[in-house]
Every structure is written in C-alpha cells, then in structure tokens.
Structure 1
C-alpha cells in the first residue's frame, strides 16, 4: 500500500507518532491547522514516562540544553519524592512543550516525514482500501488519499467528529488563566513562587526564563468563559486578587490565555481506518503531566503497530490491540485526575484529608505508589496468549515497562539504547545464550542481545516490544518447554509469522 499515513495535528503527540512511523520507513504526512509553530506553551514540564519514552528513541539528548531535570512530583499539589523509589526511574524534566514540539518536528523531518502547515482536515471518506481526506488550505480545498488517518488534533478534534466517535464526560465548573509575565527582580510575584492554594482556587508562579514568570490562576465554582474569548491584564490581576487576597504585579504580560479543561474520553480509539491519540482521545485536568505522557505513549504504542501492518508483518488484529491497551489507560488517567480535583476544592472541607494524605506519603510504599501513578509508571498491560494453556502463568514483568536500566552487552549500554532503532529486542542474560536461538526467525524485526545479568531485572531473558513493553520474560536459566512456548507465542503475536 503506497498511500501515506495522514496525521492530523502537529503537536507533541502527532509529531511523536510521525517520528515513530518515519523511523520504520513509513510514508507519513502531518497536517497542522496552524500556519506557524507555536511559541507559546501552556505546559512547562514532562513527567517520567515521557522522559523514558524519549530516551528509548535517543530523543532526550536533543532536549538536554532546553531544560533541566527536577526530581519532584505531586498528587493534588501534595508533594511526593521520586528519589525514594526502590527502582531506578527517570525524573521529570522542565521544558516548554512548544520546544519539545520543535525538537520532535526536526527529528521527524530528518526521517522523511512531511509537515504541512495551514492545512486542516475537513472531510473523511473511508473505504476498505483507504481514506480520502479533504484538506482545507489557504488556497482552497484538496484531497489526499491515505492508508490510515490518525487524529492528534486536540480536544476539539475534527477527525473525531468526522469519524462519528462520541466524546463523553463532564465539563468542570472552572475558570483558569495562564500566561507569561515579564517582571523586575523585586516584583511581588516572587514571594508567591510555587503553588498557592486557597479556598477559592489556586495560583501558581514559576520561572520560565530570565525575568519571566509563568503564572496560572484556577478558580473553582466560577463561571466558565470560552477559551477563545481574549484575556486582558486587568482580568488576570483581578483573578489573582480574588484567589490570594492582595498580590499584584508590576510586570508586563507577554501573552495570556484561558484554560478550562473538561474530563472526556472517546468511546473508541479506532473507527475503521481512523485512529485517535492524545487529547483527541482523552482530556482531563492537567495535573502531574499525565495528559502529555498518556498521549505520547498512545503515539509510541500505535506507531510500530501501524508500520508492521502496512509492511505486511502483522494482521489487522494487531491494530485492534491499540484500543484494547490504551483506552483503559486513558480512563485511568481521567479517574486519577478527578480524584486530585476532589482534593483541591473546597479547601476548607478537604484540608483534613490533605493533611492525612501528607502523613501517608511519608510511608515509602505509599509514596512509591503515588509517584508511579502520577508519572504514568504503573501501567501494566494484561497480556495473555491464546496459544498457551491457562495453566502457564505470565511472568511478573510481562506487560510492564522498565526504566533505562544500565546493561553490559560487550560494552556499556542500557535498555533505552537497545530500543533506539524502534525494533523488538530479545535480551538474553544467560551465559549460554539459552533463549537467543528462537528469535533468529524474526531477524530484522527483533534484535538479539546477549547481556550480563542486571541486578535490577529479575529475569534471565526479556522480549521487548518496540514501545518498550515486556512481551515475555522468564527466570529459567535454560530453554524449558514452557519458556520456549511462551517466547514463541509472544514472537508470533507481536512480530508476525517467522521467516525461514
């Protein structure tokens, strides 16, 4: 099939998907309705999951000079300590999402991805062999024939609407303003750095550059104002006074915008040849970076599956696993952010509960549970292979994703480095290479790596999917009948029929 994959939306999720497809050699076109790359960014951080997924592709290296690592996380603005996790995981990284978008576009274009700006999807007509996409540009309308279309075009997704996929949930009675303010060094806003929580709502202040502060107000129970209604400086000042009582600023607003996030999820992430990812599939209150991490992992989950199918290495059933795996994760993100909202308002009523939770967070196991939850690190897909008897138990690691564990495979490397090519990887920790031979029939799809045993990995061999998920693992030192059957089932399920 020579028609390209069309991605609607050139934000971080759409561009991450484009990178994944470009890495696999799939012809890909990104259609972005904005004429120019965004220079304004509501989001200023990426959580541990995003860092780890970018590390798997070598993309974090391109961002190192654009931001900084910070070992912190929160649940409803109650602080957690990621440094106390018993396992090694990435820390969050502070970087403007607009800069992440630029870096992803640079790398995707290097792989041959085409990014067209000022182009909006306004029509979709799909049949058994492809999708006819109507695109509106500054010079009129045109059509593009695509093999598949992926809507990464935000909460108001045109693709989702055109595909007839319901977006169910609730709107929050909430009014928010966000923007950047250029200030002098003695500005009163510096006294409010961090999160300021009151019974009315919250006010956050954080530095984003020399003499520039990012401010955000959030008022619960206030009348919602449509996001396309302009915000002026007077309205920002009044919102800050309502929340804090007396804080003002002498600074100059560089830009201001509204944010009024609902909690909604698409009932299906696929309709025939149309898929949804990121905010087009799920939106919720922006707490802990879960919106971006859930969307980026949507992209990483879907990209290799689309490529495998288009290149004749996988049946349609592989594409079905996208919704099966990612819809519950989106649902969970909506749930955990709603739980945090319940701890933010009304403050007079929830303060006792917040105090008790703060005490609980000092317990290592509780802290670890919540750090993994808000960082998107607790996701584990319930893989079951029909080829195996029910009596064959899955390894405890199956379906999970590990951090960038250091390894020695002839030379120093890591799990993340092994995944840079976007292929599957069989890592054999046995000195005899007991589990390596089976993967030989999937050459070009699965790399085989002999590595020294790693204390952080409680297994003698792992089969990693291109997205880093552990498709199979064993603790057997030799290739037993059970372990061989499990590995064969995993290889066939995720990487198609063997060759030779």
Structure 2
C-alpha cells in the first residue's frame, strides 16, 4: 500500500478545513487536504459572512477577492427572523456580507493550492489510528487504498465525520425534533409584491420559509412544515414539495419552474466533549452540529480554523509547547456551546404554534430596546466573543482603532506587540516569532487571530508580559532579533 507523509493532514475541504490549511500554509507548515467528494459541487449551504468572520478574512487579505461575488451588505442580522441592528456594533463591518459559501471555498482553495498542496478529491478516510508521535489514516482513492501519516490531523469533515466515527469519539447532544429543507430554485411565476432583496423569514400556512434572490433568476428557499417532518433525509427535494411550501407562505401567485439542487436538515444539536483527542483536532461541523439559525454555522467553523491554525503551526514548527493546543478547546468549545443554546431557542421560535407566535411578539418587543438588541447582535455576529483572560482586554478581539498598526503582521498571520519602546527589550528573546509596532499607547500583545493575548493596565505596566509571551509563543530564544 502506498504511504505518504505530511506535517498536518486536513480531512474535509469545506470552508473550515480550507481555512485551517490556508492558515498553516501562511505559517510555513505543509498541510495535505483530502475530501471524500469527487470535487467541489458549487452548491452553497451558507449565504453570508457575519461581521467577525469578515474582519478575520480581511485581516488575511482574503476578503477582497470575494467582493465581485457579494450580493448585498445587510445592515441587519436576525434571531429566528426577529431583526438585529448591526449598526451599533463597533466594527469596520457593521453588516452581514451576502456571499455564497462556494465563493468563499474557491478563494480559500486557491490559497491552499498556491502553497503547493491542491485538494485531493475522491480521498475517503476509512480508518484512523494514532500513537504518541503521529497519526496514520487509511484512505480509499480511485486508484486503490493508500495511507497518510502526519504529525497531526485536523478533522473538518462535517456533521457525519468519518474521523470521528473511526476514533469512536462520542457526539452527545439532542436528536432531531424538527426537519426542514433547502433548495435553489428558478421561479416560473413570482408572487405579487416579492421584492428582489433579502428579507427575514415569513410565517404562515402551518410552516415557515425564506425566499432569497441569489441573482440570475435563482432563489434560495428554506422551508419547514408538517410535510417535511414525515420525509426521510435521503428523499429528494421535489419541485412539487417546494411548490406546496411556497404556496403556504406566499399564496398561489408563485410557481416553481426548476429545482437546481436541494437537501434536508434538522434541528439536531450536538457537540464533542473535547476538541482535542491526542493528535487529532476537531473543527467546524465535525465538532458541533446545530440548526443553521441566524447564519452562524459557516462563521463558527471559520473562527475555529483561525483559532486553531496559528497554534497548530507553532507546535508543528517546534516554537510552542503542545499544551498550546489545549487552549483551542478551552476557547472554542464554550463559544460553540453558546451557539447551540441560541440556535435551539431560535428553533423553538420558528414553530408556527399560536402560543409561540405570541412569545415571538413579546421577544420582538424586547429586542426593540437598543441595549437588548445590541447584546444579541453582538453574540450572533461574533463581535462579542471573548476568550478567558484575567485582564479586562485579554481575550477580546483587537479594537478597530489599533487594527491598522497590526495589519502588516496579521496579513502574514504573525503576532505583534504594540506599545512603547520599553516593551521591545522584553520581547527581544521572542523576536523570531513576534513583530513590534511602536506606539505611545498602553501595550498589547495581538495574537495572529486578532485577539488580545496580553494588555498592560497602565503606561508603565510590564507585569505579565514575559509570561504571556511564553504562554502563547513558547520558549524564548537567546540573541533573537525583533522585527
């Protein structure tokens, strides 16, 4: 059996796996990406970037290539269809960016291929074993079985993860209680008053539905009602089914001409208990599964990748202790757990029961309060994610007013210490792996994922900086040169 080696093997060529591989490539770590599918389908499950994901992609220079594909900039998010005003968010991107997942995957795949490791399609993981030093993966390919051996494996192969099954990793949570369908369609006849703009979901006729224009005469429809509860996940989404769902919400003024593609999903809610299993790290839907409510799924996976990528690269290159990988779980598991809570709540609020519609009305009144709206918008958008930290700034995202000073470093996925010159000498032993930007402002250490790893409490405070540098960047190197 042919055998291949890699620093890191990434299983799954969706947005999470590709982002992780692109992050590793930026840090000089070779990653091989495999996927069981024969190629990219062009279908887009997700349709929008939340503000925090836009910030992170922009920090790497990966947002600009997406601009020709953007349908709209949406100043509002939603919680089960109830509007959330993003204008109050303190970000350069106070809006959702309406762009299909397929376009995001194309940009990320180009970055991975440019690093010399194009995606290997039709490579299905069939078995995984690991020891203290490496991970070995059995892979079925069109030309026969092969084996990959890697120092680490990133499992980003979706909700039905082959890696998770091969290792026997439990996926605890709640089974599906409600089933829904999604499809891209062409309308033969449009309902009166249907606007060519994105809008929140509508309720009626015993179900609910989104109808969003994607351009070129194609609309995305997402719907759920009594009929969908009786259909198996493997059954195709038919034009007749879509027709009935649209009529329930929009009346008889709509006619489906063609179904381009369709699939079924549910409100199952699950999460692995540990994101790290030895040398295997779970990310994206392989680590957490939830109802795609509020547009959070794609963004949750991308942010997993940005958190994991630089840490894994540091460990592989021998610059950081392996314990740094445990902070990936410590930081990202609680974030996903909170998303599972809010998506379960949103799922309940989409059930067309008269009493639940009354709850929606009460909640809508509460969200009309700017403070309440801002709090929920901060959570759904990802802007208010904060990782554990003793200092008030530690673990928070980099504020916009410091983003420009960190931009050159973040484009290269490098940490940067911003502050007065007194900090430069302290950071000198880590000069091979951290940049320095002189500023009169209080010092902060910015991690490669644009979160704050340390912050001074005052202009002369240097307490904790040495410990923070060692924690995030590993052992110091004597006689290093700070960039």
Contact kept? 2:9, 2:152, Cα under 8 Å:
yes
How far, CA to CA, are the matches of 1:127 and 1:224 in structure 2?
A: 45
Q: Which moved more, 1:85-94 or 1:152-161?
A: 85-94
How far, CA to CA, are the matches of 1:452 and 1:224 in structure 2?
A: 64
Report whether the alignment pairs 1:465 with 2:447.
Answer: yes
State the secondary structure of the residue aligned to 1:419: helix
- 1:452-496 CA-to-partner distances (Å, cap 9, x unmatched) read 65xxxxxx1210111111111124122xxxx32311111010001
Please state how far the C-alpha of 1:402 moved relative to its aligned partner.
Answer: 2.9
- After superposition, residues 385-464 of structure 1 pair within 5 angstroms as 394-405=390-401, 413-428=404-419, 430=420, 433-451=421-439, 453=441, 460-464=442-446
Instruction: Tell me: CA distance 1:161–1:403, structure 2 relative to 1, closer, same or farther (3 Å).
Output: farther
- After superposition, residues 7-406 of structure 1 pair within 5 angstroms as 7-67=10-70, 68-85=72-89, 89-183=93-187, 187-188=190-191, 191=194, 194=199, 195-198=201-204, 200-219=206-225, 222-243=228-249, 246=252, 248-383=254-389, 394-405=390-401
Q: Which moved more, 1:243-252 or 1:32-41?
A: 243-252
What is aligned with 1:486?
464
State the secondary structure of the residue aligned to 1:208: strand
Please state how far the C-alpha of 1:221 moved relative to its aligned partner.
Answer: 8.8
How far, CA to CA, are the matches of 1:364 and 1:86 in structure 2?
A: 14
- 1:338-384 CA-to-partner distances (Å, cap 9, x unmatched) read 1212222244112333223222223222121011111122221113x
Contact kept? 2:315, 2:322, Cα under 8 Å:
yes
Contact kept? 1:163, 1:271, Cα under 8 Å:
no
Please state how far the C-alpha of 1:220 moved relative to its aligned partner.
Answer: 6.2
Contact kept? 2:453, 2:468, Cα under 8 Å:
yes
Please state how far the C-alpha of 1:162 moved relative to its aligned partner.
Answer: 1.0
Can you give the 5+ residue segments of structure 1 that lack an aligned partner in the other structure? 384-393, 408-412, 454-459
Please state how far the C-alpha of 1:406 moved relative to its aligned partner.
Answer: 5.7
How far, CA to CA, are the matches of 1:322 and 1:4 in structure 2?
A: 19
Please state how far the C-alpha of 1:426 moved relative to its aligned partner.
Answer: 0.7
How far, CA to CA, are the matches of 2:446 and 2:413 in structure 1?
A: 10
How far, CA to CA, are the matches of 1:242 and 1:266 in structure 2?
A: 37
How far, CA to CA, are the matches of 2:93 and 2:364 in structure 1?
A: 22
Please state how far the C-alpha of 1:289 moved relative to its aligned partner.
Answer: 2.0
State the secondary structure of the residue aligned to 2:422: coil
Contact kept? 2:271, 2:288, Cα under 8 Å:
yes
Please state how far the C-alpha of 1:9 moved relative to its aligned partner.
Answer: 0.4
How far, CA to CA, are the matches of 2:365 and 2:440 in structure 1?
A: 41
How far, CA to CA, are the matches of 2:67 and 2:254 in structure 1?
A: 34
Please state how far the C-alpha of 1:183 moved relative to its aligned partner.
Answer: 3.1
Please state how far the C-alpha of 1:247 moved relative to its aligned partner.
Answer: 5.1
The alignment yields a C-alpha RMSD, in angstroms, of 2.1
The normalised TM-score by structure 2 is 0.92
Instruction: Tell me: CA distance 1:190–1:218, structure 2 relative to 1, closer, same or farther (3 Å).
Output: farther
Q: Which moved more, 1:64-73 or 1:26-35?
A: 64-73
Aligned pairs, number: 470
State the secondary structure of the residue aligned to 1:115: coil
Please state how far the C-alpha of 1:197 moved relative to its aligned partner.
Answer: 1.6
How far, CA to CA, are the matches of 1:177 and 1:230 in structure 2?
A: 10
Please state how far the C-alpha of 1:250 moved relative to its aligned partner.
Answer: 4.4
Instruction: Tell me: CA distance 1:87–1:145, structure 2 relative to 1, closer, same or farther (3 Å).
Output: closer
Contact kept? 2:205, 2:248, Cα under 8 Å:
no
Instruction: Tell me: CA distance 1:365–1:69, structure 2 relative to 1, closer, same or farther (3 Å).
Output: same
